[in-house]
Structure 1
Amino acid sequence: MKEIFKLSYLIAIVLFLTISCKDERKKTEKVLTQEATEEFNVIGNYVSEDYSKRSEGYDWVSVAITEANNNQLNISIRSRADKKKPTCTFDAVAKKVDDKVYQTQINGKSILFEFTNAQISISAEKEEHESLLYFYCSGGASIAGTYQKINEQMDQNQIDKTKFNSVLNLQDVGFSVSSIEKDGKNTLTISTFGLQESEYNQTFIIDGKEVTNAEVEDLNSDGSPELFVFTRSVGSGSYGKVYAFSVNNKKSMSEIYFQPTSENSVINKGYMGHDEFSLVENTLGQRFPIYKEGDTNAAPTGGTRQVSYKLVDGEAMRKLKVDKITEY
């Protein structure tokens, strides 16, 4: 009887230890999973080392990361601007390489954004392309380096108020695209450099909108580039708009007509915003969800409509004409 009791006691001890080990292992796995999730939550604000000394007058640079569509990130680099002109200004959309690495292409050169331990490191993919990282800064500075994540907004009293900034080049023509909020108004300024007869310099009031991206391409293969600036309305609708421009034989630049989607009966059935635009080979691509009657803004049920536009000559100006429509 005593032997049976001892055996039962030993079995109970073994079972208790086994269950305890499993519980501890599950707890450990849960903690590791949480840490991994936290480690790769790349969205947020990152700052250079001297941010902590900003009250002493030190210059600093910030990197704001927000989520974009299709496994992409919006990268926005800004610097201190309360005492002097901003040191660094850079905007780009970066595509996902893996959980830790994103990249963007600038004039055929890759810039890498690597995330580890609540940090982001910015570098050129190839050593010979490092000079590109100096282009977006003044005074010999570079956007390259490692930035530490913070859990609050950047110092709004010091940070550069530029909303968007990009410099693009194609076929020996350059474009500067910038958006800044000033005197209570949000503006979009577009200027050229390298045109042979008349440079373009125009500012548009875009209150209620934000610039999401800018791209260049020679859509009609005439040897001169086209510029496209994409905006969206601020709010739940996120209605997209295209500002398009065509360079005329590298001498001047003029606007291209793009009919607002809400006014285009060919494609606007079920349209309620949430546009995405991009250049695909020699076409402008647009994609948006289709809403059925009774759908809420947050829950479309009609699938997706994809539209491609060709650049054609019009009577007064060039225009973007619907070429293909696909629904899925």
Structure 2
Amino acid sequence: MKNSLLIILSTFIFTACSFSNQAKIKETKSINVFTNYVSNSYYKKDEGYDWVSVNLSKYDENTIKVKVRSRADKKTPTCTLDTFAYKVDKNKYNFYSEGKTLELLIYENKIELKGKTKDDEIALYYFCSGGGSLKGDYFKYEKSLDKEQIDKRAYVNSLSYGKYRFYIDSSDNKLTIKTYDLKYSKEPFVHEIKGQVVFSEIADINNDTNPEIYIYLNENIEGKTYGKLIAYSVNAAVSMSEIYLAPLKYNKELSSSYFGNDEFRVVKNTLVRRYPLKNGKIKQIQYKLVAGEATWQLKIDKILEY
């Protein structure tokens, strides 16, 4: 009788432990990674300490939007970055800067930013001032960040190509592009914008050694999202001029199938634009950069459907 009771009790304990472990596993699987993470110094912010935050939000099934902001009420923000990180495996995402591979590692209660190699790690200094680096651990903080202290700019990025560097930021429906490396284009380029900046990148798709910058925006119109492009090209290493992209409404072949939800990316030597069709397929437009009579233009090179 005692043995039977022991067996029953042991079975009950084992089953209870199994359910407990399953609950823990289930809880771990369902943890929210899309939230704020902060440096340890955030908890001493009221004592005047500087701090850095990282916000992760879902872009699609394999892409995370990374937004780095820091304290801005007492001095120039220490670290800023807006980029996308791409899935490598369940808890590891990579993002890239100037040919360097950077890693975002996700744990249950923190994230870690590091370089894939020691050489790659140098790039984590690019996003910070005063010798700072984004390298290190950031701890989950599922609350709103201090609105009085945080850098309030909606988008911030810096792009470099050889000797050229460009600074991009947006706030209050205004996009500003700055560069200090061009003799005749030292004043900021300012655009009034209706949507939000999603991403920016630099390339030389016409291979003339003068880079272009491509800034992608999403604009919401009557519940639909439409991709917008603002782009500039460096001219003869001394100035910069805007690149023209004709709206799709002027193209009879494309206008009837276009209903928004499009996005842009540079792929090798072309600018690629993709958007979904009503039949479930994807339309892809590939543009080449050519010299127009008055300015640079993006001309359609290929149209694909898959």
Letter in 1 for 2:57: T
**TM-score of the two chains, using structure 2 as the length reference:** 0.89
Q: Which residue of 2 is the match for residue 89 of structure 1?
A: 80
Letter in 2 for 1:303: K
CA contact (8 A) 1:210 1:234 kept: no
CA contact (8 A) 2:98 2:123 kept: no
Distance 1:262 1:31 in 2: 54
The C-alpha deviation readout for 1:271-295, integer Å capped at 9, x for no partner, is 222111100001011111123xxxx
CA contact (8 A) 1:164 1:180 kept: yes
Query: Are 2:28 and 1:36 aligned?
Result: yes
Distance 2:145 2:114 in 1: 23
Aligned residue runs from structure 1 range 103-122, under 5 A: 103-122=94-113
Letter in 1 for 2:208: D
**What is the deviation of 1:18?**
11
CA contact (8 A) 2:103 2:116 kept: yes
- RMSD, aligned CA: 2.7
Instruction: Report percent identity of matched pairs.
Output: 38
Structure 2 unmatched runs, 5+: none
Q: Which residue of 2 is the match for residue 123 of structure 1?
A: 114
**TM-score of the two chains, using structure 1 as the length reference:** 0.83
User: Secondary structure in 1 aligned to 2:255?
Assistant: coil
Number of equivalenced pairs:
304
Distance 1:200 1:264 in 2: 35
Letter in 1 for 2:213: L
Structure 1 unmatched runs, 5+: 1-8, 292-300
**What is the deviation of 1:26?**
6.4
Query: Are 2:305 and 1:313 aligned?
Result: no
User: Secondary structure in 2 aligned to 1:78?
Assistant: strand
CA contact (8 A) 1:47 1:148 kept: yes
Distance 1:101 1:309 in 2: 33
Distance 1:64 1:262 in 2: 36
The structure with the largest alpha-carbon Rg is 1
Distance 1:266 1:224 in 2: 32
**What is the deviation of 1:83?**
2.4
Distance 1:170 1:246 in 2: 12
Q: Which residue of 2 is the match for residue 147 of structure 1?
A: 138
Q: 1:212 aligns with which of 189, 198, 210?
A: 198
Letter in 2 for 1:323: D
Distance 1:283 1:14 in 2: 72
User: Secondary structure in 1 aligned to 2:131?
Assistant: coil
Q: Which residue of 2 is the match for residue 289 of structure 1?
A: 276
Change (3 A) 1:33 1:304: farther
Instruction: Identify the range of structure 1 (87-96 vs 129-138) with the bigger mean alpha-carbon deviation.
Output: 129-138
**What is the deviation of 1:19?**
8.8
Letter in 1 for 2:200: A
